[in-house]
Structures are given as C-alpha cells and as structure tokens.
Structure 1
Amino acid sequence: MATFVLIHGAGDVGWYWHLVTAELRARGHDTVAPDLPCSDDAAGLPEYVDTVVDAIGDRTDLVVVGQSLGGFTAPLVCDRVAVDLLVLVAPMIPAPGEAPTDYWTATRYGDEARDQYDDTIDLFYQDVPPELAAEALRRAPGQSTTRMAEPSPMLAWPDVPTRVLSCRDDRLLPTGYLRRVARDRLGITPDEMDGGHTPALSRPHDLANRLDAYAAEPSLLHR
C-alpha cells in the first residue's frame, strides 16, 4: 500500500482532502495532508516544503499529490524525500526557477478564451455541495502573496514518474489550457476526469479511484 502525501492549493488547508483521505484509507493506504503556512507572510515555497517533509516523517512508498498551487510545492518535495510517483491534480505546473506570480504570464494564461467568474463559489466550487463549499470557505485562511514573487528553488523537474490529471469542468484551469502547458513543460498529455477545480470535495470517490489506480501501476509496483 502507498502513503499519499496530499498538498492543498492556495489559501487552503489540509481539510480540503478529508473526503479523499477517508476513501484512500478505506482502501488500505496511509495519508498525510498537512496545513501549509500559506497565510504567513514570512513563509514561502521553502517553508511549504519543510512543512510537508516534516509531516511525512519516516513514511515510505510515497505518492505525492499536488492540487492547484500545490503543483509548485510537490516537485520540491520530491527533491527532499524518496518518492515513487508525483500526481498533479488541476495543477499549476512550474518551470525551473519560476515564481508563482510569474506563472500566468509565462504560460500565456491571458490568451485563453474562457468565461469570467467573479464569485468564489462559481469559480472554484460550482459542483461542490453548498454546505461543503461554505465549510471550505469558512476554513480557508487566505493566501499571503508576500513571497510568491520569489523564484522557485527547483533547478529541474524531479526524476520521478509524473501524472497530470485535468478536470473537464475546471473554470480556473480549463482543460485546453492545462493540456497545452503539460505538453509544453512536461511532454505529458493529462488524463481527464469530470468535475471542477476542487474534485477532492465534489468527486472524492472518483478522485480516490484515480489515485489508487495510479499507485497500482505495474511500473511503480516493481520499482
């Protein structure tokens, strides 16, 4: 069985993964879903990575999963601990040395034809049950941008098997955009699943099935 290291996105907490955690543990896996210090003005990507590595402790058989902005933290974790698989879900996919604040310009996000959503629910949680979306907003500590202009310390993409999972109804990172970025930066064509930007809340069973299947791939079982 695997240990899934679940890294949340911007301004969020590890609670985001609680439904997926329950699903994965029911399948016999271990999980780690730390709260990143994302509201702390003194914290940047190095501190995010420290938080994740500390939470992992001496666990092994690691599958690191990064959601959204967690895509910046996840590959850095792979440089610090031995990881069997890296999975990026509805992610930002950083280039070496790229600052999070530079990502949108560098990936030509403004060139994408997409609908505009000013409401947080409509953009991030349109397919999440209303009471669950309200709880997510209540728990969200907010995202400090003080150090988000610092270049990522990543020198190269880690030498770890990588999967990218796109959500077909994602209003923040549409499938066409994410497909282009994944191919340009990683040479990977993303897998796709139904759902919006926060599938751990809207489709936890489906997402857990995907993660479980990734961890069971023969190339990983025989590493």
Structure 2
Amino acid sequence: MAQFILVHGACHGAWCWRDVIPALESRGHAVRAVDMPGRGGGVAGLTLKDQAEAILSAYEGQAVLVGHSAGGFSISAAAEQAPERVSRLIYVAALRPANGDRLGQRMQALTGERADLPLVVAKDRLSYCFDTEGAGPVLYNGASQADMDWALPQIRHEPSGPHREAISLGDNHAGVPASFVICTEDRMIPAVDQERMAADLTDVVRMETGHSPFLSDPDRLAGHLARMAC
C-alpha cells in the first residue's frame, strides 16, 4: 500500500481530485488531496517554500507526490526540501522544472500548439484567474458537460508569487524517482512539450485525454498512479 498526496494545478484546489481519491482507495492506497496556500488570491509574499511546506505538513512518513500542471513545481520543491519523505514524484500533464526555472517563463516557452485561454489579473496584481467563459473545452476537453459545469464554478484566483520565483533544485530533487503521465490531447500544455520534459524518464505513460484526466478518465489515471507507486 502506498500513501499518495495529490497536488492540484493553477486556479484549482483539492476538490479537483474528487474522483481519483476513491479510485485509489479502492485499490488499497491511502490518499489525501491538499490545497496549496492562497486559494482566492490577495495574499502577498507566498513562495514555493510555502507550497512545499503545505505538502510536507499534510502527511507523516513517506509519500508519493502527484502534481498536475503547475503542481509539478510544487511537488518538485517539496522533494528538494525533504527528499527522504518522498518515495516518488509523478507528473500528470505537468510542468516538470529544471533548476532556475520560473513557472511563468516555462509556460511562455512551450512550443506546441495551445488553445487561447485568457487570464484575469487581480487589481492588486497578487493573483490571476482563468477566464472561465469558454474555458471548459480547454481545461477539461474529454470530460462530460456535467463535470465541466461542476468544476468551472470552483476555479479561484491563483497567487502569482510562486509562479514568478525561480525554483532551486539540486541533488535532493534529482535523487527522487520520477514518472510522467503524458496527456496526448492536452490543449494547455501540449503533448510535444510534455514529451520533452519526460524525455529522460523511463517510467512514462500516455493517456489519450485532455489536460484534466482526473475528470475525463479518473479510474484509468488511478490505475497508472497505483502502478507507478510500486
């Protein structure tokens, strides 16, 4: 049995793992989804260290950290801070950073064809949010309309600070085994960019889903996560 900690991406929360949690629990695993600090925005001074500590404080012992999208930076920071507490990193349609990367710059450097999803920046410049009008087919392509209608109202402003910060990664992070779930129909982080980020890994699977397999194919995603944890 593995212990899983599930980490959401930008503008999302622990809620997005609704269907993956029972699918992993039914396979005998312990699972917890965590909220990164600053949901809703308006919080100054947040850092990647704050995200790492939110992850590490959510469990005892060792865990498999699963990061979706921007959550790839969050779980990487946690592994660098406490590698002895991380048995594996699993990136799901995620940004897998190298030392010195900034999340915003990494997104701008993507080379694959992406859908246009406007951002709404808060007046205080401390956070941003996806413009939810028309966002369903971009964020959740492949999911049912009912699931899109459930998810979209829960999207919240994301604190900008951690996304502007250069991540510091070294031997701690490098020593933790990593896996990657590539989503081949992703309209946010194109598959060609995911393939490049996963090129040095031996444990890679591909799902014919959009950016959010936790909604469009949660049971199959859980099966991949369970296998990767072994």
Q: Give TM-score, length-normalised by structure 2.
A: 0.83
Per-residue deviation, 1:95: 1.1
| TM-aligned CA distance change 1:117 to 1:146, over 3 Å | closer
Letter in 2 for 1:206: R
Per-residue deviation, 1:112: 2.7
Q: Identify, as 1 or 2, the structure richer in helix.
A: 1
Q: Which runs of 5+ in 2 are unaligned?
A: 119-133
RMSD: 2.0
Match of 1:95 in 2: 98
Per-residue deviation, 1:65: 0.6
Per-residue deviation, 1:127: 1.5
Match of 2:178 in 1: 162
What SS class does the counterpart of residue 33 from structure 1 fall into? strand
Of 149, 154, 162, which residue of structure 2 is paired with 1:139? 154
What SS class does the counterpart of residue 18 from structure 2 fall into? helix
1:193 aligns with 2:193: no
Instruction: State the Cα deviation string for residues 169-200 of structure 1 (Å, max 9, x = none).
Output: 111112122112322xx455742012110101
What SS class does the counterpart of residue 164 from structure 2 fall into? coil
Match of 1:71 in 2: 72
8 Å Cα contact 2:141-2:209 kept in structure 1: no
| TM-aligned CA distance change 1:83 to 1:59, over 3 Å | same
Letter in 2 for 1:89: V
Q: Give TM-score, length-normalised by structure 1.
A: 0.85
Match of 2:123 in 1: none
The total of aligned residue pairs comes to: 209
Per-residue deviation, 1:115: 5.0
Q: Identify, as 1 or 2, the structure richer in strand.
A: 2
Match of 2:130 in 1: none
Letter in 2 for 1:24: L
8 Å Cα contact 2:115-2:138 kept in structure 1: no
Q: Which runs of 5+ in 1 are unaligned?
A: 217-223
What SS class does the counterpart of residue 207 from structure 1 fall into? helix
Identity %: 27
8 Å Cα contact 1:12-1:140 kept in structure 2: yes
Q: Which moved more, 1:130-139 or 1:1-10?
A: 130-139
